[in-house]
Amino acid sequence: MSGKPTVCLTGGIGSGKSSVARLFEAHGVAVVDADALAHELTAPGGAAIPAIGAAFGPEVIDGRGALDRERMREQVFRDPVARKRLEAILHPMIRDESERRRAAATSAYVVLMIPLLVESGDPRRRCDRVLVVDCPEAEQVRRVMLRSNLARSEVEAIMATQASREARLAYADDVIDNGGDPGRLGPQVEALHARYLSLAGA
């Protein structure tokens, strides 16, 4: 690794990426969350709102001037072309802002959390290491149903749009097993943190 290394953190829905990211933050590591950036860009007055309104019409913008996520979700699940159009608006903005925050970080290395890293088509371009948070698909379904009050079929529909567990693992340099006791996450993150500091020359 040279310069300020970037560890790209990814995993399927319900795998526990956010829990892992919080543990890295507890070690003083800067975490840049692509999903959080997407929310900022589509909040009331967000930088992406004008382009989204122009591309999809005023019906996808709610009364507060934010993206109506439910209406947008219906469109992109139904129409792959609509999904690509939305991604073409959001992804360059997310990349630019995540790079700005990565460059401004003061930690020895940066964790860049990108849920759809493998689906992006060129997952290694921005990563020195790819870290996958892994758990069985049945556990993903259970967690998301519990967390988001969604039906099994809805969760499975979301998962069907994401890379398979096998595809993510094929890209991994490092894997965190989050299929069992949550108490096992801490030691795994601690070991990886020590490894990344060493690789960063810190």
CATH assignment at residue 131: 3.40.50.300
- Which two tokens mark 138? 């049945």
**DSSP-based three-state secondary structure for 68:** coil
Q: Same domain for 118 and 191?
A: yes
Read off the pLDDT of each residue in 104-110 and give the average, rounded to a whole number: 95
Rounded Cα distance, 133 and 185, in Å: 10
Tell me the percentage of the chain whose pLDDT exceeds 70. 98
pLDDT at 1: 41
pLDDT at 123: 65
Q: Same domain for 65 and 118?
A: no
**Are 116 and 162 in contact, with CB atoms under 8 Å apart?**
yes
Read off the pLDDT of each residue in 15-44 and give the average, rounded to a whole number: 95
Instruction: Decide if pLDDT at 54 tops 60.
Output: yes
Torsion of CA 22, 131, 120, 152, to 10 degrees: -70
Read off the pLDDT of each residue in 33-57 and give the average, rounded to a whole number: 95
Q: How confident is the model at residue 166 (pLDDT cuts 50, 70, 90)?
A: very high
Q: Same domain for 172 and 119?
A: yes
Q: Same domain for 100 and 40?
A: yes
pLDDT at 135: 93
pLDDT at 28: 97
> CB neighbours of 156 closer than 8 A, spacing ≥ 6?
141
Read off the pLDDT of each residue in 29-34 and give the average, rounded to a whole number: 96
**DSSP-based three-state secondary structure for 48:** coil
> Per the structure, how many domains does the chain have?
2
Question: What is the domain range of residue 80?
Answer: 36-106
Instruction: Decide if pLDDT at 68 tops 90.
Output: yes
Read off the pLDDT of each residue in 19-24 and give the average, rounded to a whole number: 96
Q: Same domain for 189 and 117?
A: yes
Tell me the percentage of the chain whose pLDDT exceeds 90. 72
Rounded Cα distance, 106 and 122, in Å: 26
Q: Same domain for 202 and 124?
A: yes
Rounded Cα distance, 26 and 49, in Å: 33
Q: Same domain for 21 and 116?
A: yes
pLDDT at 187: 97
Average pLDDT of the chain to the nearest whole number: 91
Q: Same domain for 179 and 92?
A: no
pLDDT at 2: 45
Q: Same domain for 124 and 187?
A: yes
Q: Same domain for 13 and 78?
A: no
Q: Same domain for 134 and 161?
A: yes
pLDDT at 4: 84
pLDDT at 8: 96
At which of 51, 86, 106 does a domain end?
106
Whether this model's pTM surpasses 0.95: no
**DSSP-based three-state secondary structure for 6:** strand
Q: Same domain for 25 and 122?
A: yes
